[in-house]
Amino acid sequence: HFSQGMSDFLSPILYVIKDESDSFWCFTSLMEHMGPNFHRDQNGMHSQLLASQRFDTTHKKESNPKFSYLKCL
């Protein structure tokens, strides 16, 4: 199952590795870790945003006000 945005990960891998077969396996491994971010329900992405919010709240060093403005977190 392909989702928009996956090619954004594959393109640099292919550019750096320069071998389609090795790039495919590298991409496959990456998608095993990143796959939940591409589910239609977006639960994986929401989980990462919540983790980022918790981290930001805990480490108030350089929070980005744009996130609050855009209501991303």
Residue 57's pLDDT is 65
Residue 73's pLDDT is 43
Helices (H) and strands (E) in the chain, counts: 4, 0
pLDDT tens-digit series, residues 13-51 = 999 999 999 999 998 888 887 777 777 777 777 887 888
Residues 41, 35, 46, 65: is their CA dihedral positive or negative?
A: negative
Q: Model confidence at 65, in pLDDT bands (50, 70, 90)?
A: low
Q: Model confidence at 53, in pLDDT bands (50, 70, 90)?
A: confident
Residue 16's pLDDT is 92
CA distance readout (Å), 51 to 39, 48, 55, 58, 66: 18, 5, 6, 11, 17
Residues 39, 4, 67, 58: is their CA dihedral positive or negative?
A: positive
